[in-house]
Amino acid sequence: MNISSSEKITESVTWLGKWTFVLAAAGSAVGLGNIWGFTYRVGEGGGSAFVLIYLGCILVVGLPIMMAEIMIGRYAQHSPVSAMKKAALDSGKTGYWQAVGWTGLVSGILILSFYSVLAGMCIKYIGIAAMATPAIVSDVQFDQVTGAPLTLFFWHSIFIGLTVAIIASGVIGGIERMVRLLMPMLFILMVVMVVNAMIYGDFKAGLNYLFTPDFSKVNSSTFLSAMGQAFFSLSLGMGSIMCYGSYMRKSENIFKTSLTVAGLDTLIAILAGLAIFPMIFAYNMNPAEGPGLVFISLLSIFSEMGLVGNFIGPAFFTLLSIAALSSAISLLEPSVAYFEENKIVSRLTAAVILGLIIWVIGIGSVFSFNIWEKMEFIGKRTFMDSIIFLTFDILMPLGGMLVAIFAGWFFKPKLAMDELSAAHVNIFTTWRFFIKFVSPVLVAAVFMSQLFPDLPDQSKDFFITLIGLFR
């Protein structure tokens, strides 16, 4: 592979709009993770204490790694595989660092395979919520949808088709155009949902739940859950952000844009909480319901709301589908960009072939809800849970940790400083401290505890002491 920079500079694509990077990266970050994952984890983690810990994770681990990914991508102006290689070679290190890029491509493909099935379910729920009457029983409804492989398969196919179509249309004609359309829609729908919660929900209870810290419910698994969530929510550890960063203009300030993206992602997650919890409390549902919070509890609320629910419900599931779509394209782009830049096949062919592969793997997740419900793959997990385990628990933390280690210890400081040039020197020094010593250690801790689940018990004492300090 020849990646001499002179050859590439003329070819590399740059976002047209000044705000496109922010929109695209926020589009990637804001997804099912924010609206569905964040809220059910807040519920399980005891509300506000989880939110505080989550904010800490975003700042201490998320932000430095996001800056590192953008830096490497923009420095190299290549898709993640070649970007890691170029950044390493130019720092006088081995080109094998490209393995980090490959890990990213594989996890992107695997994540998209199940993400698409869940997103397809969200699209299906737009229609269900529009027709819902107070008579429907939402868990029966949920069992009906998940028990029908053909339905899941149909909507999974539609969703992958949309994702492939956008990516095939190019970075500017596809991604840039879509995020400029989708992100404002997403924001407006979110505001509509929050206003709805103000009118029909118990807003005060929701606010209390999200913002009055109660550390008695915190344990070591809260930290792990918050950290994993922060990572997934910011789309880190697999090259999505690195790839989008490679299309960013040199004149843009990496620190400010990262802060904006992380801020928007967090804002949307909190707005999602404000849209959902007041309703949950007003209708006496359990906030700690778990993954069924959105598909079961909320649907039952929308159906009890009558006619208003028939408008608000579909709006909510449209919001979820849009958020999922703008994330899905960022999962496919790194691998398509790799094929395109190395002229292996055209963008269109790459998008279609990779889309087909993802679509086929996704069928395993479709079956995980029904035909293969009892079949075990890794450990006692269904097929879909195994893919989630592989990506969420192994590949992503591994990728993020390696990016942090590379950026902190191997990437030439001078190159990093040049990329951060628009920022204050203190920002560079602070960033370097975090990326060298803090982020990799914390990610490694999460990683270890996921691989060896008994470990948290031993480290519990440490966390309990730590929490004691803040009480």
Residues forming contacts to ligand TRP in the complex (CB under 6 A) are 28-29, 31-34, 111, 232-233, 235, 237-238, 240, 327, 330-331, 396
Tell me how far apart the 2 most distant CA atoms of the chain are, in Å. Answer: 67
Q: Which is nearer to ligand TRP, 220 or 391 (CB)?
A: 391
| DSSP 3-state of 50 | helix
Q: Which residue stretches of 246-346 are H helix? A: 254-282, 292, 299-304, 307-341
- CB 358 → ligand TRP: shortest distance, Å? 13
- CB 214 → ligand TRP: shortest distance, Å? 25
Q: Which is nearer to ligand TRP, 222 or 233 (CB)?
A: 233
Pick left, alpha or beta for residue 373 (phi over 0 → left; psi -120 to 50 → alpha; otherwise beta): alpha
- CB 297 → ligand TRP: shortest distance, Å? 20
Sign of CA dihedral 363, 104, 58, 465: positive
For residue 461, the tally of other CB atoms under 10 A from its CB is 10
Locate 421 and state its tokens. Answer: 């040039």
- CB 235 → ligand TRP: shortest distance, Å? 3
Locate 425 and state its tokens. Answer: 């020197």
The Cα 58–Cα 434 span in angstroms is 12
Q: Which is nearer to ligand TRP, 232 or 281 (CB)?
A: 232
Q: Which is nearer to ligand TRP, 116 or 240 (CB)?
A: 240
For residue 284, the tally of other CB atoms under 10 A from its CB is 7
- CB 29 → ligand TRP: shortest distance, Å? 5
Locate 271 and state its tokens. Answer: 């707005």
- CB 82 → ligand TRP: shortest distance, Å? 19
Q: Which of 327, 319, 281 is nearest to 129 (CA)?
A: 319
Q: Which is nearer to ligand TRP, 24 or 49 (CB)?
A: 24
Q: Which is nearer to ligand TRP, 28 or 220 (CB)?
A: 28
Which residue has tokens 């849970």? 385
Q: Which is nearer to ligand TRP, 275 or 331 (CB)?
A: 331
Crossing angle of helices 63-76 and 254-282, in 10° steps, is 140
The Cα 142–Cα 310 span in angstroms is 17
Q: Which is nearer to ligand TRP, 31 or 80 (CB)?
A: 31
The Cα 410–Cα 403 span in angstroms is 10
- CB 112 → ligand TRP: shortest distance, Å? 8
- CB 80 → ligand TRP: shortest distance, Å? 11
CA angle, 52 then 447 then 118, to 5°: 75
